[in-house]
Structure 1
Amino acid sequence: PSESPGWPRMLLRSAAFVASIASLVPLLREPSASEELSAMSRHRRRKGAVSVEASEYVLYYEAPRPEAVDEDSPRPPVVIRREDLPDRAPGAVRILLVSDTHGREDSLGVLPSADVFIHAGDILSGSKATDGGGNLKALKSFNEWLGAVDAPQKFVIGGNHDNFLEQAGMERVRKLLSNCTYLEFSGARCRLPELDLGRDLVVYGVPYSEGTSWNDGFRHSCPPEELLRASCRNIAEEVADGDDGNGVDILITHGPSPHIARELRPSLLHVHGHIHKGHGIYLPGDIGVPVWGGEPSRVECLTVCASVLDNSYRPRFEPILIDVPVGIAV
């Protein structure tokens, strides 16, 4: 008689069978638009290769106007060559988004023009809080790079790798990053008179991110949500010249931070980074990028994860360019 395969071999076969069934589970549900987009983007590249295409393309999305939201399904985001970008739609703001450059901002190539440029944190590659780690040199290079970005309004926040920014303090960092508006649990007016929008926009930056790593910049200094809300209300009233204002238009956080987005309710856009593999555009109702160690939840507004490096800190993903009509419903 033939020999029995034995328990070890039977267990291995059972484990392989379970793994094959588990791999089919994601196929049993319909993917969201952002998941389809991410799959398409990954499919264009050889696994493990550094993408040279990321310096030639952008991920582009034209958000629908408020009156068109319920008429048709919105056109999906597309990966497009930078020289083939369409003209900005009338009444829209063109926003260029990147995050988590970790000292490799030059790998992005020549960026397309935009009305607003946003960097959602993790400027530096390390977490040292002292000048001895080359942070001043890195920030000088980053500031020079910012100066070459073709956008009249530029906003930058820190991230969990930017301990040096937290220790240096907002006033000193603003002097070091003179080619942008640096935000640290604070907001600012975004004035775009050439677009004739009828009002200025309110941009608010929160460098907080969830996580447990020793790269913990800004992780323990985030104010309570009620203080963030009061701060947002103050800047919105200031921008509206004493009126109630429209609240926050653009929210920048480093981590996905859905609880902060729900609290501050940005009217146009929430942009974050931190979770590199979450790169993409998430429409209202999509499952967003989960917080570190948490469960994913549905986003309530147009949300962008703008990380441009992969988990191995190699240039991989395209900068994101979106045209957002002012007044888009959330």
Structure 2
Amino acid sequence: MASLLAPTSPFDRPSLAYTLLTQPLHLVLRLLSHLLTSLRPPPNRHPRPIRLVCISDTHSLDPGAIPPGDILIHAGDITAHGTPSELQTAIDTLSALPHPHKFIIAGNHDTYLDPSSRATLSASDAAFPPKNLSWRSLTYLQHTTTTLHLPSHNRTLTLHGSPQTPLPDPTFAFTYARGQDAWARTVPLSTDVLITHTPPKHHLDLPAALGCEHLAAEVARVKPLVHVFGHVHAARSDFEGRVTGARERVVWGAGQKALESGLARRARGCVWDVLNLGLWWDLGRVVYYGVGAVLWERVWGGASGEASTVMVNAAMMWEGSGRLGNEAQVVEV
């Protein structure tokens, strides 16, 4: 039955029935964790918040009306085929937007930007001189960090951008083998906003968990205020296709460690999930720590003392449709 309901690609959004048939306790674990986190008080709002406008995966299409903000972030795949002409057209479109500061990284479709995949383009495109590509008002980040000073807010913000993505196809840009650790200690601890193309594993990356486990470990080490990514378009929508899953708050405490332990246990079908004592143990720990945190913070008024990160899947592409259907995400820090 599950095989009949299976999505045609791991990057497609599975039906609720398929998820229940293949990993019911994993689903309950995620939903309970998200519910308990949502019941906790939000972090204190800064008196002079910086407005981040986050987009990704525009694939050579015009993103249209983008909300105003202090900083525009594009998390990769600005083109469909990654030719220099496509890149320049996309850059010109984004550069015309009115946001005072704009930061962008590459994605796996932005072929020309990676010398190792550039050879897959036509001879004329591959020979295009990199110095002739004009980034205009955009700041391009490729394994680089920049600190932005905003005098209007009397604040500074440190951003780090990295394009690499776990994909088995070397014809794509900035790829590495799934399971390879391309992230350990590559992100500075001072990072406030992390921009990657791939999601971290188990965060807005579908039940198939298409993100990278090593990136997840690096994010847990650094604990940025915001982590913006894209790549897995369909993770933006819930089981009915409504766009409700574009962001997630992660509180770095014992409950999160219990959740990670449970989700790391392999999903082997409905019966195995239900009979997996380790999963039940992790589920119990998620409830124990989550309820305890809610009571401590909501009832007794205690302070959390735990850092948190807002995860944002900013993909604008509507699943695998070839059209843009998701809205930009706005986050204040």
Provide the rounded CA distance (Å) in 1 between the counterparts of 2:151 and 2:39: 31
- Say how many residue pairs are matched: 232
Counterpart AA for 1:218: F
| Counterpart in the other structure of 1:308 | 316
Provide the rounded CA distance (Å) in 1 between the counterparts of 2:109 and 2:145: 21
Provide the rounded CA distance (Å) in 1 between the counterparts of 2:34 and 2:40: 20
Q: 1:126 to 1:20 in 2, by over 3 A?
A: closer
Provide the rounded CA distance (Å) in 2 between the counterparts of 1:226 and 1:214: 22
Question: What SS does the aligned partner of 1:311 have?
Answer: coil
Counterpart AA for 1:102: H
Q: Is 1:322 aligned to residue 322 of structure 2?
A: no
Q: 1:22 to 1:217 in 2, by over 3 A?
A: closer
Give the number of the structure whose alpha-carbon radius of gyration is greater: 1
| Counterpart in the other structure of 2:206 | none
| Counterpart in the other structure of 1:125 | 80
**Structure 1, unaligned runs of 5 or more:** 1-11, 37-68, 76-87, 128-134, 234-246, 289-293, 325-330
Q: Is 1:172 aligned to residue 127 of structure 2?
A: no
Q: Is 1:202 aligned to residue 145 of structure 2?
A: no
| Counterpart in the other structure of 2:66 | 111
| Counterpart in the other structure of 1:251 | 194
Contact 1:113 1:149 in 2 (8 A): no
Provide the rounded CA distance (Å) in 1 between the counterparts of 2:96 and 2:18: 48
Question: What SS does the aligned partner of 1:308 have?
Answer: coil
Aligned-pair distance for 1:140? 2.2
Provide the rounded CA distance (Å) in 2 between the counterparts of 1:23 and 1:251: 30
Counterpart AA for 1:141: T
Alignment partner for residue 161 of structure 1, among 109, 112, 116?
109
| Counterpart in the other structure of 1:145 | 93
Question: What SS does the aligned partner of 1:138 have?
Answer: helix
Aligned-pair distance for 1:23? 6.7
| Counterpart in the other structure of 1:42 | none
Overall identity of the aligned pairs, in %: 28
Aligned-pair distance for 1:228? 1.6
Provide the rounded CA distance (Å) in 2 between the counterparts of 1:257 and 1:96: 20
Q: Is 1:97 aligned to residue 105 of structure 2?
A: no
Q: 1:219 to 1:173 in 2, by over 3 A?
A: farther
| Counterpart in the other structure of 2:122 | none
Matches within 5 A, 1:8-87: 29=28, 32=31, 72-74=40-42
Alignment partner for residue 181 of structure 1, among 114, 139, 146?
139
Provide the rounded CA distance (Å) in 1 between the counterparts of 2:32 and 2:248: 8
Contact 1:202 1:249 in 2 (8 A): yes
Q: 1:90 to 1:162 in 2, by over 3 A?
A: same
Q: TM-score, normalised by structure 1?
A: 0.58
Provide the rounded CA distance (Å) in 2 between the counterparts of 1:120 and 1:20: 28
Matches within 5 A, 1:152-301: 152-167=100-115, 172=130, 175-197=133-155, 200-213=156-169, 215-220=171-176, 224-226=182-184, 228-229=186-187, 232=188, 247-258=190-201, 259-263=214-218, 265-279=222-236, 280-284=246-250, 301=309
**Structure 2, unaligned runs of 5 or more:** 6-14, 119-125, 202-213, 237-245, 261-265, 268-285, 287-306
Counterpart AA for 1:256: P
Residues 66-125 of structure 1, C-alpha deviation per residue, up to 9 Å, x if partnerless? xxx9995449xxxxxxxxxxxx97321100001111101x1x322121111100001110
Provide the rounded CA distance (Å) in 2 between the counterparts of 1:20 and 1:307: 22
Provide the rounded CA distance (Å) in 1 between the counterparts of 2:16 and 2:139: 50
Contact 1:120 1:157 in 2 (8 A): yes
Q: TM-score, normalised by structure 2?
A: 0.58
Question: What SS does the aligned partner of 1:141 have?
Answer: helix
Aligned-pair distance for 1:252? 0.6
Provide the rounded CA distance (Å) in 2 between the counterparts of 1:101 and 1:35: 28
Question: What SS does the aligned partner of 1:139 have?
Answer: helix
Q: 1:113 to 1:22 in 2, by over 3 A?
A: closer
Counterpart AA for 1:101: T
Provide the rounded CA distance (Å) in 2 between the counterparts of 1:162 and 1:220: 15
Question: What SS does the aligned partner of 1:302 have?
Answer: strand
Provide the rounded CA distance (Å) in 2 between the counterparts of 1:142 and 1:228: 28
Q: Is 1:136 aligned to residue 84 of structure 2?
A: yes
Question: What SS does the aligned partner of 1:194 have?
Answer: coil
Residues 208-233 of structure 1, C-alpha deviation per residue, up to 9 Å, x if partnerless? 1112245521114999545624xx36
